[in-house]
Amino acid sequence: MLYEILLHATAPGGDVNCIQHLELGSQQNATLEITGSAKEAWLTWVGDTNYNLNAGTPASNYSYWGSDPHDNLVSLLARAASPNLAFTSILREHVNDYKAGLIVPFSINLGQKAHLDVPTDVLMDRYQVDAFGNADGNLFIDWLAFNFGRYLLFSSARGLLPANLQGKWAKDLENPWWGSAPFLYFLLFFLLADLFTWAKQATVCRSLSSSSMILLISIPIALDINIQMNYWMAEMTNMDVTAPLFNFIEVRF
């Protein structure tokens, strides 16, 4: 299986260039260079795979191989990176989406008090089960972790495929338990963190423009029991995210 990522960079007041470098024999590396008087830069990225859930049949030789997502991604990126879209409107749409899917259908009250002035890592260091000296902080961490878990599942499970063990936050080319990373597009997120260093391990296939790049990577597909652990809270907390999971099981098995 292959997946493709398109990245568009915009730097108001500056210039953006995609510079390719021949390295490691025939492979290529690429970097983004921003020059001029830019005070900020915006990165817009989209990704997809050629995975086709319905191509796991004898007629398709169980290839699960679909069409090249390139043309659809180019069109999607053009809309997402349109100068007519304001950041405030994009943020508002995102927040409203998550409120409708997470906050409105379900809420939990443990009697927690918000500790917004204390960094999360400090609260975690203080956390002790049934510790009387940090009862308020413990309740807040319990509440925060519970809702964070729902947020992760909501973010990973609303596409064509269900969420896997690590969701869309798997950052490496080969992750721990990498055999349980069946859903290729969930690995897209690592590009943002490792775009410049990791590019040496990938192949820069073609350049769309001075500020867009495409990467194609091969990753295997597998499925394991961790999917049950991911979904235990879905229906009992009124999350509308299970349809892709049930459809996947019905089609595959």
Same domain, 121 and 136: yes
Q: Quick check: helix, strand or coil at residue 52?
A: coil
Q: What percent of the chain has pLDDT above 90? A: 32
**CB contact burial 153-164 (16+ within 10 A = b; e otherwise):** bbbbbbeebbbb
89-93, 178-182, 203-207: least confident range: 203-207
Same domain, 73 and 115: no
Residues 101-118 have pLDDT tens digits of 999 999 999 888 888 998
pLDDT for 215: 36
145 vs 133, more confident? 145
Residue 245 has pLDDT above 60, yes or no: yes
Same domain, 150 and 206: no
Same domain, 3 and 34: yes
Structure tokens at 28: 């290529």
Residue 209 has pLDDT above 50, yes or no: no
Count of the separate structural domains present in the chain = 2
Residue 127 has pLDDT above 80, yes or no: yes
Same domain, 61 and 152: no
- DSSP-assigned letter for residue 132: G
- Cα–Cα distance measured from residue 122 to residue 111, given in angstroms and rounded to the nearest whole number: 20
In a domain, 244, yes or no: yes
Same domain, 186 and 152: no
Same domain, 218 and 231: no
In a domain, 92, yes or no: no
pLDDT for 103: 92
Residues 40-69 have pLDDT tens digits of 898 999 999 898 989 988 999 989 899 999
pLDDT for 232: 87
Domain limits at 3? 1-85+171-222
pTM: 0.71
Q: What percent of the chain has pLDDT above 70? A: 72
**CB contact burial 221-243 (16+ within 10 A = b; e otherwise):** bebeeebeebbeebeebebebee
Same domain, 12 and 55: yes
- Tell me the average pLDDT of the chain: 77
Same domain, 42 and 133: no
In a domain, 185, yes or no: yes
